[in-house]
Chain A
Amino acid sequence: MSAGAWLSGSALAVALTFAAAGALAAPAATGHASKATYEDAYRHAKTLAQQALRDDAAWTVTAPTLKQAEKAAAEGDYDHAEALADRAAALAELSMQQAKEQETAWKAAVLR
């Protein structure tokens, strides 16, 4: 097993650890969200989530985060809803970044 296999996986693992840690904490609310800004954020996140699914790169945590955003918006908490939508977008982006990286990174893990 080459060092490259560990390192390329480790680098993204660090990024994903940050993402996962952030996912456990409450999303940062700005206090400035409105229905319009939330809807923009939601549309953006939904587009990315659908792209990740089409590419077979999606994570199981992305769709539930979008659902949580919908729920918060339905309750009128646009601040929280927008923060959740932004998190869902970040998860979708990370999942596609992972898939892109793995197109080549996997080769270093092959037993030789």
Chain B
Amino acid sequence: MTRRIRMTHPLQRAVLRKAAPALACAALLPAIALAAAMATSHADDSLASSTPAEDLAAFQHYFKSTFPEVSPDDFVNGPYSMNKGMREQWEAIMQFPPYDFALAEGKKLFATPFANGKTYGDCFPNRGIGIRQNYPYFDTKRGEVVDLVLAVNLCREANGEKPLNVSKGAMASITAYMADTSRGKRFDIRIPDDPRALAAYEAGKEYFYSRRGQLNFSCSSCHVQSAGKRLRGDILAPAMGILASFPIYRSKWGSMGTIERRLVSCDSQVRAEPLPANDPMYRNVEYFLSYMGNGLPVAGPGARP
């Protein structure tokens, strides 16, 4: 069964004047009928849409007011900002950061020339040093969101090299190095005056807040409504600044992983069939969430349970 990579979201398709496919629903089951009868209201379609700047203000205000004891910059430390015991364990682990091997490998790979003699530095502003805080960005020529992972692969392809796996391995190591050179710099994600950029941001926002999977969770179910609470043995990280520490060494993986890797696993965990790791929709989600973290410091690479 082949999977179609959805290149556009319905909002993006409207902008591009393409017709959205009709969804033919099968006959509803009694349980669904019960749900329909019980629902007092679906989302009010008259809810005024908000601008990205308004979203950012509301988003950061929510977390700062819900967790007044957490210093704003500390949100980038995810669950460690929420739980004292976890923080102590993390500080002990960070005596010997588990991402150190990947960092060393990434530095070496970054400096290794391609077959044509060029290097990654030839593709990026400032030779790729200290630029993590500007990713992802909306590429107006390509008409899509480009995150650091895609930028690395575009660089490789432009220099005659095969793309890397976007989830782990060499990609995670290279982007770990690039993030490390930017540690402490403040995220500054831009949404240019281009309806396609706004559509991509809105598509990511919709994905973040939409419930999915048999467990019927949205990203916000865990990382907004349940931030700081336990999910089995884990403490749920707050959504504010949640991407700032990527790529991460995750103990559960026993290896490094990119944002793409985590989004695929999040979808699987709520029993939603994940998109392909390099799907543009995941970059749209990264675009929205990264914008919500504007002003927070780059904290990658990071370590997580």
Residues of A within 8 A of B (CB): 1, 3-5, 7-16, 18-20, 48, 50-63, 89-112
- Tell whether A91 pairs with B214 under 8 Å between CB atoms, given A11-B38, A53-B273, A111-B55: yes
Interface residues of B in 171-213 (CB under 8 A from A): 205-206, 209-213
Q: Which of A7, A51, A54, A97 contacts B41 (CB 8 A)?
A: A7
What is the bound-complex CA distance between A55 and B211, given in angstroms? 15
State whether the Cβ of B231 lies closer than 8 Å to any Cβ in chain A: no
- Known A-B contacts A4-B43, A48-B26, A97-B25; A20 and B273 likewise in contact (beta carbons under 8 Å): no
Assembled-state Cα–Cα distance A61/B225 (Å): 25
Q: For the complex, is B3 an interface residue (Cβ under 8 Å from A)?
A: yes
Q: Report the Cα distance A23→B60, complex, angstroms.
A: 40
A8 touches B214 (CB 8 A): no
Q: Which one, A18, A58, A62, A106, contacts B211 given CB within 8 A?
A: A106
Alpha-carbon gap, A100 to B20, bound state (A):
13
**CB-defined contacts of A7 to chain B, threshold 8 Å:** 39-41
* B83 at the A interface (CB under 8 A): no
Q: Can you list the 7 inter-chain pairs with the closest CB atoms, starting with the nearest?
A: A11-B39, A15-B35, A58-B273, A108-B43, A107-B43, A106-B209, A106-B210
Q: Are A93 and B29 in contact (CB under 8 A)?
A: yes
Task: Determine if B158 is an interface residue (Cβ-Cβ < 8 Å).
Answer: no
* Cβ B41 vs Cβ A16 within 8 A: no
List, in ascending order, chain B residues with CB within 8 A of A98's CB: 211-212, 216
**Which residue in chain B gives the minimum CB-CB distance to A5?**
B43
Chain B hits for A9, CB < 8 A: 211, 216, 221
A90–B32 CA distance with the chains assembled, in angstroms: 10
**B270-292 vs A, Cβ < 8 Å mask (1 yes, 0 no):** 01110100000100000000000
6 contacts between A and B (CB under 8 A): A3-B40, A9-B216, A14-B35, A59-B214, A61-B271, A112-B54
Contacts of B17 in A (CB 8 A): none
**With A16-B214, A60-B213, A94-B214 given, can you name 11 additional A-B contacts, CB distance below 8 Å?**
A14-B31, A16-B216, A18-B34, A19-B31, A48-B26, A53-B273, A59-B214, A101-B42, A102-B210, A104-B45, A106-B43
B50/A112 in contact, CB under 8 A: yes
- Min C-beta distance of B185 to chain A, whole Å: 26
Q: Which of A20, A51, A102 meets B24, CB within 8 Å?
A: A51
Indicate whether B224 reaches chain A with its CB closer than 8 angstroms. Answer: yes
Q: Is the CB of A110 within 8 A of B50?
A: yes
Q: Which residues of B contact A94 (CB under 8 A)?
A: 29, 31-32, 214
Which of B39, B45, B224 has most chain A Cβ within 10 Å? B39
Specify which chain B residues have a CB less than 8 angstroms from the CB of A60 in the assembled complex. 213-214, 268, 271-273
Find B39's partner among A8, A20, A91 (CB 8 Å cutoff): A8
Chain B residue contacts of A110, Cβ below 8 A? 47, 50, 55, 205, 209
The docked-state distance in angstroms from the alpha carbon of A104 to that of B45 is 7
Q: A91-B214, A94-B29 are in contact. Are A109 and B220 (CB under 8 A)?
A: yes
Given the complex, which residues of B lie within 8 Å of A18, measured CB to CB?
A: 31, 34
Closest to A22 in B: B31
